[in-house]
Amino acid sequence: MPICLFWQRRKKRQKKVYKQKQGQKDQKLKMVTALYLNIKLKEVYI
């Protein structure tokens, strides 16, 4: 197995991992914003 191929595969795998991590961050952000919006809405109605 040539080294260049090894590096290409490794880069692909790292991109996948990076995308997964970004996805998790986005979900956390969405949850936080949703909670924040809920609190804001309750404040407005009360």
Within 13 A of 5's CA, how many CA atoms are on the CB side? 2
**Residue 13 included in any domain:** no
Interval 12-37: pLDDT, tens: 998 998 888 988 999 999 999 999 98
Question: Between 44 and 42, whose confidence is greater?
Answer: 42
**Residue 1 included in any domain:** no
In this model, does residue 45 exceed pLDDT 80? no
**Hey, CA dihedral for 19, 20, 24, 25, is it positive or negative?**
negative
Residue 46: per-residue pLDDT = 56
Give how many domains the chain has, as a whole number. 1
Residues of the domain holding 42: 18-46
**Residue 11 included in any domain:** no
